[in-house]
């Protein structure tokens, strides 16, 4: 059996996704399986409904009838998930669940606001400071910072291009403090 945790898809009765997630979370805690079954996710998205001419934002399940589980598959964890009320089985073969492709997982998590691609980069720069752009289309340009967005991990700055100031937006990972 595999010892590393991967994301798997479990099939549930339609409409039972949240109930399965809650039941499974309780089971994991009560059985001390936190180190084997990590996260349980029902991917949702905002959808705008128009009723009586009024817009309402509602959460809709992206994959109705399915729940994602990050876990290490062993006999015990497989049994616990498989025997959770509302679960009809794993997606894959009957005996061995097939994990999701890592790129697919990354895309789904990102759609849920969970970005695990890289740890957040924090930099100590201030508006008005100069930085050197180290990669991308503006590589080796010196930018004067005009705006810092910690939430997105980006900053805006002005570079001198063809004799005029041009505003550019770059990722924290694309800059270094200028030595000027």
pLDDT mean over 102-128 = 78
For the cut 60, the answer to whether the pLDDT of residue 27 exceeds it is yes
- Give tens-digit pLDDT for 34-73: 999 999 999 998 888 888 888 888 888 989 999 999 999 9
For the cut 60, the answer to whether the pLDDT of residue 3 exceeds it is no
Which range, of 3-7, 44-48, 112-116, 160-164, averages the lowest pLDDT? 112-116
At residue 132 the predicted structure's pLDDT band, cuts being 50, 70 and 90, is very high
Q: 169: closest CA among 151, 179, 149?
A: 149
Dihedral sign, CA of 10, 15, 21, 23?
A: negative
pLDDT at position 49: 83
- Give tens-digit pLDDT for 67-107: 999 999 999 999 999 999 999 999 986 677 899 998 888 88
User: Model's pTM, two decimal places?
Assistant: 0.60
| Percent of the chain residues topping a pLDDT of 90 | 51
Q: 74: closest CA among 31, 33, 104?
A: 33
For the cut 60, the answer to whether the pLDDT of residue 119 exceeds it is no
Four-point Cα dihedral 79, 81, 83, 89, nearest 10: -100
DSSP letter assigned to residue 112: T
Average pLDDT in the chain: 87
pLDDT at position 157: 94
Strand 54-61 relative to strand 142-149: parallel, antiparallel, unpaired?
Answer: unpaired
pLDDT mean over 99-122 = 78
E-state strands within the chain:
6-12, 37-41, 44-51, 54-61, 66-71, 87-90, 130-133, 142-149, 154-161, 164-171, 175-177
Dihedral sign, CA of 91, 92, 93, 99?
A: negative
pLDDT mean over 141-159 = 89
Which domains are assigned to the chain? 6-112 (3.30.70.940), 129-177 (2.30.30.30)
């Amino acid at each position: 059996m595999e010892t590393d945790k991967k994301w798997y898809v479990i099939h549930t009765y339609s409409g039972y996704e949240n109930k399965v997630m809650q039941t499974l979370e309780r089971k994991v805690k009560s059985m001390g399986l936190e180190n084997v079954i990590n996260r349980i996710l029902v991917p949702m998205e905002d959808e705008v409904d128009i009723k009586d001419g009024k817009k309402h934002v509602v959460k809709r399940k992206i994959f109705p009838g399915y729940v994602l589980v990050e876990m290490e598959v062993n006999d015990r964890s497989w049994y616990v998930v498989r025997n959770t009320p509302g679960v009809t089985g794993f997606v894959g073969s009957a005996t061995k669940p097939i994990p999701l492709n890592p790129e697919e997982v990354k895309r789904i998590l990102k759609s849920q606001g969970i970005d695990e691609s890289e740890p957040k980069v924090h930099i100590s720069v201030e508006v008005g400071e100069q930085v050197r752009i180290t990669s991308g289309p503006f590589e080796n340009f010196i930018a004067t910072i005009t705006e810092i967005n910690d939430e997105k991990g980006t900053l805006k700055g002005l570079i001198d291009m063809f004799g005029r100031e041009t505003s550019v937006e770059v990722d924290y990972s694309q800059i270094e403090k200028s030595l000027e």
